[in-house]
């Protein structure tokens, strides 16, 4: 049986998978419910992988991939979906990973996000960071936040991505999409020019490097609402990562800028559903900016942020572990999976609902 790339894309959509992995000496693999599973039995040889993936490239992309051995781009699969593609070279030959980007942008209501995320979407200025590991649904959450703004108020939305993922159709806003490498040379140059383009809201696909981070902070301090992603797993870790990206002599200045500009942090993880059905449940830690948060950032007391979140429940804040606990109590996710994702595993393992669900040996192995 031979494979065609479009058939694999169609099968991925039909099975509700999130990713397609193609690599020599392996069958095509889908990520389904967070797990990698074979999409077929037959193993692909290196020439077959190249025959599947190279025809998707234009001449410039093909030259770049063959020269550099790495390539990121977006691929439109008819009207059914877009894919974020990463091509790579490994010892056995070329390979690729395709992440599905649904054609329809899900709304905040459809995602069932906590109220704190809607509150951050309604802001008019500041820096909002959406964080989490690769594949945690950051892009989906950000797309819903941008869609909420697009539908609820007039303005100019500018997205800067590498590559462009979700494509927003104008509703109440003028929407400009820019792709790094295609329309602008770098994230830094795009952010620097954004101030001259009279944007009200800017989405930065990823804040890469100290200069880009500083430019985003400065733009946020001028009254622009900026959304960006960072690869961290908690609000406190996000702030530390931001500050530690700079040399020690610049960190006091960056703390000051961050204290003035940080409007909020959403840290997100995906957890398997308790009933074993396809799809996963998004779990959020939410930190919302305040004078108290600004003070902690200036003084370098990020270890107190978890306590600040716990005291801000009425403001829409929640810790990752309290969100996990609520979902376990509601039967949406299992105690074992929740403990695996908890930030303070020792404390989480002592919760009555976790103690009842796991035997002592399981708790010890997960804490380790």
On the question of pLDDT at 80 being above 70, the answer is yes
Among 29-33, 109-113, 223-227, name the one with the lowest average pLDDT: 29-33
Burial status of residue 220 (CB atoms within 10 A of its CB: 0-12, 13-18, 19 or more): buried
Domains and CATH numbers, the chain: 5-102 (3.30.450.90), 108-329 (3.40.50.300), 335-367 (no CATH)
- Residue 78: predicted pLDDT: 85
Per-residue confidence at 196, pLDDT binned at 50, 70, 90?
confident
- Residue 277: predicted pLDDT: 78
On the question of pLDDT at 364 being above 70, the answer is no
Per-residue confidence at 363, pLDDT binned at 50, 70, 90?
low
pLDDT in tens, 52-78: 999 999 999 999 999 999 999 999 998
On the question of pLDDT at 367 being above 70, the answer is no
* Dihedral over Cα of 85, 239, 145, 187: its sign: negative
pLDDT in tens, 233-279: 899 999 999 999 999 999 999 999 999 999 999 999 999 999 877 77
- Residue 207: predicted pLDDT: 86
- Residue 366: predicted pLDDT: 59
The pTM of this model reads 0.89
The residue assigned the tokens 């819903």 is 144
- Residue 356: predicted pLDDT: 84
- The answer to whether the CB of 215 falls within 8 A of the CB of 188 is yes
End-to-end CA distance of the chain: 45
- Residue 1: predicted pLDDT: 43
pLDDT in tens, 306-315: 999 999 999 9
pLDDT in tens, 106-142: 999 999 999 999 999 999 999 999 999 888 899 999 9
Cβ neighbours, 10 Å, residue 66: 14
* Dihedral over Cα of 237, 322, 262, 192: its sign: positive
On the question of pLDDT at 160 being above 80, the answer is yes
- Residue 67: predicted pLDDT: 92
Of the chain, the percentage scoring pLDDT greater than 70 comes to 96
Which of 363, 346, 244, 309 has its CA nearest to residue 114? 309
- In DSSP notation, 52-117 reads HHGGGS-HHHHHHHHHHSEEEEEEEETTTEEEEEEEEEETTEEEEEEEEEESSPPPHHHHT--HHH
**Residue 230 is encoded by which pair of tokens?**
């960072």
On the question of pLDDT at 355 being above 90, the answer is no
């Amino acid at each position: 049986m031979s494979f065609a790339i479009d058939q694999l894309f169609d099968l991925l959509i039909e099975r509700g998978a999130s990713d397609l992995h193609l690599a020599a000496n392996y069958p095509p693999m889908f990520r389904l419910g967070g797990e990698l599973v074979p999409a077929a039995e037959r193993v692909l040889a290196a020439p077959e992988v190249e025959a599947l993936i190279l025809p998707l490239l234009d001449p410039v992309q093909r030259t770049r991939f063959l020269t550099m051995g790495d390539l990121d781009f977006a691929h439109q699969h008819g009207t059914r979906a877009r894919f974020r593609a990463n091509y790579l070279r490994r010892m056995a030959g070329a390979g690729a990973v395709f992440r599905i980007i649904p054609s329809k942008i899900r709304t905040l209501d459809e995602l069932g996000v906590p109220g704190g995320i809607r509150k951050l979407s309604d802001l008019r200025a500041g820096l909002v960071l959406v964080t989490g590991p690769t594949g945690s649904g950051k892009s989906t959450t950000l797309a819903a936040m941008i869609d909420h703004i697009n539908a609820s108020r007039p303005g100019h939305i500018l997205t800067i991505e590498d590559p462009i993922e979700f494509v927003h159709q104008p509703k109440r806003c003028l929407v400009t999409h820019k792709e790094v490498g295609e329309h602008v040379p770098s994230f830094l140059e795009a952010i620097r020019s954004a101030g001259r383009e009279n944007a009200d809201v800017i989405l930065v696909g990823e804040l890469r490097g100290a200069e880009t981070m500083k430019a985003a902070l400065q733009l946020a301090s001028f009254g622009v609402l900026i959304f960006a992603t960072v690869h961290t797993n908690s609000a406190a870790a996000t702030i530390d990562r931001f500050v530690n990206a700079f040399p020690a002599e610049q960190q006091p200045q960056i703390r000051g800028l961050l204290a003035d500009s940080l409007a909020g942090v959403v840290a997100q993880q995906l957890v398997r559903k308790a009933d074993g059905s396809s799809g996963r449940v998004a779990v959020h830690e939410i930190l919302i900016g305040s004078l108290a948060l600004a003070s902690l950032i200036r003084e370098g007391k990020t270890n107190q942020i978890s306590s600040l979140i716990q005291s801000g429940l009425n403001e829409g804040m929640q810790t990752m572990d309290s969100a996990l606990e609520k979902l376990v109590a509601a039967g949406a996710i299992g105690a074992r999976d929740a403990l695996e994702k908890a930030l303070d595993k020792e404390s989480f393992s002592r919760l009555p609902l976790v103690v009842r669900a796991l035997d002592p040996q399981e708790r010890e192995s997960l804490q380790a």
